[in-house]
Amino acid sequence: MENRILSVGSKFPEFKKTAVVSLQFGKEFDTITSECHKKDGQWMVFFWWPKDFTFVCPTEIEEFNKNYEEFKSRNTMLLGGSTDSEFVHLAWRKNHPGLKNLKFPMVADTSKSLCEELGILEAEEKIAYRATYIVDPEGTIRWVSLNDLSIGRNIHEVIRVLDALQTGELTPCNWEKGEDVIKIVE
């Protein structure tokens, strides 16, 4: 059976999942839904990793966390997730020095239903690929990046693409925030 990966222009699936949240919320677990970013008119970056307690995954999670304020300043909700349970997420956060102070929720897709709907479930082990979605405030997928299980992603590229999407303009190759966009003269 071949995956059909939801891509640009598709609606991000509706979901309601348990997540490990920052203790700044006064609790360890909370419910995260597909409506959370929409009700506040925010963009959403939702990134997935294959498994907790692995080697490449914490490097990415730590880097997203280091750049949390960059996402927040762009009116963007940052979510991370895997098919591990909220209890595994919590244990990993408590035992990994680089994950103790995460500022964004770690979503648990233990049923694998959201990964299946997104088409990012690896066939053999039934774990998530390293997928990253940028979703606009209306819930439309505007960018997707999918990496092989062994390859870490570039968080700065996620931010660069988010900046480009938020301009609403045409942006040339290698465009960076603050540079000129392409203007069509009619």
Report how many helices (DSSP H) and strands (DSSP E) the chain contains, helices first.
6, 7
Tokens 């999918």, residue?
146
- In the residue annotation, 57 being an active-site residue is answered as yes
Active-site option among 36, 57, 115, 173:
57
Residues whose CB is less than 8 angstroms from the CB of residue 64 and which lie 6 or more positions away in sequence, other chains included = 47, 71, 78, 80, 104, 155
Find the Cα–Cα–Cα–Cα dihedral 138, 10, 73, 173, rounded to 10°: -130
**Rounded CA separation 128/133 (Å):** 13
- φ/ψ bin of 89: left (φ > 0), alpha (ψ from -120 to 50), beta (otherwise): alpha
Active site residues: 57
